[in-house]
Amino acid sequence: MTAPVVTSSFYWPMRLLPADQRDAMLALYSFCRVVDDIVDEGRVADPLGELARWRGWLQALPTVADPAIAPLAAAVARFDMPVAELVRIVDGMAMDAGPEPIVAPDRATLASYCRAVAGAVGVASMAIFGVRGPQAEDFAVALGEALQLTNILRDIGEDAGLGRLYLARQDLDAAGVPLDPASASRSPDLARAARATAARADSCFERAIAALSDLPRTQLRAPIAMLALYRALLRRLVAADWRQPLVRVRLSGTRKLAVAVTAYLTARP
């Protein structure tokens, strides 16, 4: 799967959190990493069965005692994290663990995938930040989709090597891009389809910013820093225009730190 939203860009925003929130976010990060690796590492003979085991553990909380889930269970208990969202993350990973890789999903399927593997992480995180309610969920879902779409745009070449293609079928068809992942990554028309996805990601960033209007920004400095980091990455991707899709566009560590700290310090109540 294209990397979940909890990637290396997660590091600096999380380092800026109070210790108890940071520990809970790291437990959530570790959970996401584990279930992602079940799908992507190729070391698990039955990934759907292993994901089902994690789903069962989650649904049995707080009584489950397996040490593999203990840190996450502690975070759930400490911050009353919504277990249904954690189950949704597992369900999203299962979309990538089926017999066929995801190739050119329609827009509705892509939106459902982003909601599961990224929006659910955001909604669970909001409990850790102590911000709840419909507007908080709107912010988390919009930001999660923006981050995941940005990851998809960054990882087109890497995903093609795994036989995967996450750009929406409608955008590929409109641009005349073949639906085969390897062929799509080499297509001279790829940038047109990618630009359509980038526009959708940018719209999601705008929705997230709008949802912040009545939320306590000082409690949301970490996700605001993530928003700033990923929007900077999206702009760099757009500037590169997918001329070399097999070359992964990155922000330097120094740039990540600068963007994250600036966003964190300038967040206003």
The model carries a pTM of 0.90
pLDDT at 36 over 80: yes
Q: What is the pLDDT of residues 187-201, one digit of tens each?
A: 999 999 999 999 999
Q: Which amino acid is at 206?
A: E
In this structure, what DSSP letter does residue 16 have? T
- Residue with the bigger pLDDT between 169 and 99: it is 169
pLDDT attached to residue 202: 98
Rounded to the nearest 5°, which phi and psi values hold at 103?
Answer: -135, 115
Q: 130 with 69: CB under 8 angstroms?
A: no
pLDDT attached to residue 15: 73
Peptide bond into 62 cis (omega under 30): yes
- Residue with the bigger pLDDT between 170 and 16: it is 170
Of 20, 234, 241, 267, give the one whose Cα is nearest residue 143: 234
What does the mean pLDDT of the chain come to?
89
Confidence of residue 99 (pLDDT cuts 50, 70, 90): confident
Q: How far apart are CA 13 and CA 22, in angstroms?
A: 9
Q: Which amino acid is at 71?
A: P
Mean pLDDT is lowest, of 13-27, 104-118, 140-154, 185-199, for 13-27
| Fold entry, domain 8-266 | Farnesyl Diphosphate Synthase (1.10.600)
pLDDT attached to residue 258: 64
> Would you call 103 helix, strand, or coil by DSSP?
strand
Q: How far apart are CA 23 and CA 74, in angstroms?
A: 10
